[in-house]
Amino acid sequence: MGAQWKVKHKEAAANAKGRIFGKLSKEIMIAARSGADPEMNARLRLVVEQAKKASMPRETLERAIKKGAGLTGEHVHFEKVTYEGFAPHKVPVIVECLTDNVNRTVAEIRVLFRKGQMGAAGSITWDFDHLGMIEAAGDGKADPEEAAIEADAQDVEAGDEGVTLFYTEPTDLDAVCKKLPEYGFTVESAKIGYRPKNPVEGLSDEQMAEVEAFLEAIDSHDDVQNVYVGLAG
């Protein structure tokens, strides 16, 4: 799974699409607290672009922005909470949630971790790098290494389905996103996340199936936004 910041899913399925829109809506509402204009709000601009690429309906997108910015009169409060621990076979996992009820979320996440092991704060994050992460598609002629140097990215590697992964300092994420199109890359998603330093290797097919089942259960929870996994391959 390499530099994993999302668990693979059957995104074409209707229920998966609904989960994606739900997660993006929360991100949009959080980002819109700092202003409803994407041109003036870098964080919101990145999430809006991600929502458009996921084909989120315009009405859904605009409603989330207005709710987050307080323009609808509704009070929206989501708290970001992070849980860490191990999937089966000691595979390290970091789970980021956005929730309006922390007590409910932690109780439900604890249940999901019963097939693994939940850890204390800081028990896993030390084994990950905290980075800006950009998925970008090249035009077929662009050189990823050259683009990374010119756009001031820290590192680059090949991703799935022809997508290139660019890594940045967290504070440089927006600046690198703006520069990459100059060097032949179209940004598809961008976020601050975690990359494992020592990913687990050598699991059997049966063990891998157990890990993937655990990750799917975690990622399917309504409050889970991102799952970062220390798993190679």
What distance in Å separates the CA atoms of residue 74 and residue 172, rounded to the nearest whole number?
33
DSSP three-state, residue 35: coil
- State phi, psi for 146 to the nearest 5 degrees: -65, -45
- Amino acid identity of residue 2, one-letter, is G
- Whether 47 contacts 24, CB under 8 Å: yes
| pLDDT tens profile 148-179 | 999 999 999 987 777 999 999 999 998 999 99
Domains belonging to the chain, first-starting first, are: 14-68 (1.10.10.200), 79-126+198-229 (3.30.70.980), 128-196 (3.30.70.980)
| pLDDT tens profile 29-55 | 999 988 999 889 888 988 898 898 888
Using a 10 angstrom Cβ sphere, with 0-12 exposed, 13-18 middle and 19 or more buried, the burial of residue 96 is: buried
Per-position pLDDT tens, the chain of length 233: 443 445 454 444 556 778 888 889 999 999 998 899 988 988 898 889 889 888 899 999 999 999 999 888 877 788 899 999 999 999 999 999 999 999 999 999 999 999 999 999 999 999 999 999 999 998 888 899 999 999 999 999 987 777 999 999 999 998 999 999 999 998 888 889 999 999 999 999 999 999 999 999 999 999 999 999 999 86
**Given its phi and psi angles, is residue 131 left (phi above 0), alpha (psi -120 to 50 degrees) or beta?**
beta
